[in-house]
Structure 1
Amino acid sequence: MLLLRMILFLCMITTLGCSQDWDFFQQMPDSILWKASSITDVLYTQASNNLAKCALLCKINPYCKAFYFYQETCYGLSSITADSSTNALVKVFVKQPVNECHGDGFVYYNGICLMMSTILLTWYDAKDYCERRNSNLLVLDTEKKHEDMVDFFDLYYPGEYDQFFVGATDAENEGQWKWIISNSSSYFKFTGSQPNNMDQQHSGYPANCATFSTSRLIDEYCHQTKKFICEM
C-alpha cells in the first residue's frame, strides 16, 4: 500500500510516468453498445480526482481488465462489462498489450484489433477503406477467431443484427472462397445452407462477398452498401 501511494504521488508531480500508462489502454468507441446487466463486475473502487491515477491503478493490478472514472471514483473491472446504470455516462478504457491496437476507432479484444464501421460502403470500397487505415477487412480463418467474434458481438453489440462485410470473396472463381490475406487458411464457417450465391435483397445478382452477423457467416451481393469490420 505504501508503495502504491508513493507511485501515485510521483504520478501527480510528473506527467512522464502517467503518460506511459496510457500505452496500456484503449478507449472504447462511442459506437459500442454495452450489454444490459444487473451484475457489475467491479474489482475495486478508489476515490480519485485524476483519470491518470485510474489508469495506473488498473495497470498495476493483474486482475483488472478495464476501468472507468465516474463521480471522482475509479472503478476497476474484472471483466469488460460496465455498470448498466452508468454506462451511458462514462468512458471505459480497456487494458491491452503495450503498443497494440492504437488505430482511431479500433478496440482490442482477445488478440484481435477491430474497428466496427458506422458508415455503409460496398465490399470493394470497404476493402479500400480498411487498407487506407493500415488494416484489412476482417479474416476469420480459424475456429477460435470465429468464436471470438461471436463472443465480441455478444458482449459489445447485443441485439445487433446488421450484417458486416468481412474479408472473403469468391468473385474470381465461383464457389472457391478465399480470404483476402494470402497466407490465410482455407477455414470457413458458413451458416446453414450458405454460401448459396443468392442475396434475397438483390435477386438476380451474384452473392460473392462474405458478411458476418452475430454468429452467422453468409454470402451477399458485393456492390450493395453495408457496414464492415476492419482488423489491424
Structure 2
Amino acid sequence: MLLIRMILFIFPITTLDFSQDWSFFQQLPDSIVWKTSSITELLYTQTSLNLAKCALLCKVNLYCKAFYFYQEACFGLSSITADSSTNAFVRVYVKQPVEECHGDGFVYYNGLCLMISTIQLTWYDAKDYCEKRHGYLLVLDSEKKHDDMVYFYDLHYPDANDQFFVGATDEENEGVWKWIITNSSSYFRFTGNQPNNKDQQFPDNQANCAALSTSRLIDEYCLQLKKFICEM
C-alpha cells in the first residue's frame, strides 16, 4: 500500500481563512512526511459545502482531534493523521487550544507544541534554530512529558528510530546534567548504560549533549549533525 503523504493534491486548493475563527486548528506542515495511523478511528463522514463547516463540526465534537475535507465531504478523526485506509492525498487540520502553538512547522499534541526537524544541525545550531522560532530544544523533565513525546513520534513520524537532539547538556559540569530551561526538574530518563560520556561514532570526543533515541536519552558528541526536536 502506498504510504499516504499528508500533502494536498486536491484542485482547486482550499485553504482555511485565518481571519475567521480558525485559532482552534492548525495545518500539519507540508515539509514533514507523516506516518499514516494504524489506530485512527474515523469518527464521522458528512457531506459539507465548505471547509468552514467541516471545521465547525470538528470544533464542537469533543472526540474530534483533526479533520480533512475531500470531495465535498468532511472527515472527522480521532488522531492527528488520516486513517491508513484513506485513498486520497489530504491536508489535515489539527485541533488545538485557542491561540496556542502557532509557530511555523510546530504541531500541537496532547499539551505539547512540537517541531520535529527535517534537517540536521549540531546541538548548538539546533538550539539557535529553535530559539529563532520562539521556541527551545525539547525539555523532557517529567515522566508524562517523556512518554507523550515518545508516543507522538512513534505513532506519527516514519523515522521514529532516528536520534534527535534535545535540550540537555553536562558541558558546564561533567556528569551533572541540566535541562536548558532554568525552572526544569532534574528528571532524566537515560538508557541503561547512559550517560557514559562516550559517542561510538566520535570516540575521541566527549559526549556532552543529550539526544532522544527510540524511547530513552543518550549522551552524544555535540558537534555532530543530527536531527532535533523543538518545543514552544
State the TM-score, normalizing by the size of structure 1: 0.87
After superposition, the C-alpha distances for 1:65-100 in whole angstroms (9 at most, x for unaligned) are 111112221001123341213376011111110000
Tell me the equivalent position of 1:8: none
The offset of 1:56, in angstroms, is 1.0
Equivalents in 2 of 1:230, 1:197: separation in Å?
A: 24
After superposition, the C-alpha distances for 1:125-181 in whole angstroms (9 at most, x for unaligned) are 110111111110000000110001111122212452111100000011110000000
SS in 2 for 1:125: helix
Structure 1 outlier segments of 4+, above 4 Å: none
Tell me the equivalent position of 1:13: none
More helix by share: 1
TM-aligned CA distance change 1:88 to 1:144, over 3 Å? farther
- How many residue pairs match? The answer is 215
Tell me the equivalent position of 1:106: 106
SS in 2 for 1:59: helix
Tell me the equivalent position of 2:34: 33
Give ranges in structure 2 of 5+ residues lacking alignment. Answer: 1-16
RMSD: 1.8
After superposition, the C-alpha distances for 1:30-85 in whole angstroms (9 at most, x for unaligned) are 31422452x55111111124112111111122221111112221001123341213
State the TM-score, normalizing by the size of structure 2: 0.87
Q: Does the CA contact (< 8 Å) of 2:34 and 2:81 recur in 1?
A: no
Q: Does the CA contact (< 8 Å) of 1:41 and 1:81 recur in 2?
A: no
Equivalents in 1 of 2:42, 2:99: separation in Å?
A: 26
Q: Does the CA contact (< 8 Å) of 1:163 and 1:212 recur in 2?
A: yes
Query: Does the alignment pair 1:178 with 2:178?
Result: yes
Q: Does the CA contact (< 8 Å) of 2:37 and 2:156 recur in 1?
A: no
TM-aligned CA distance change 1:176 to 1:20, over 3 Å? same
* Pair member with larger Rg: 1
Give % identity.
Answer: 76
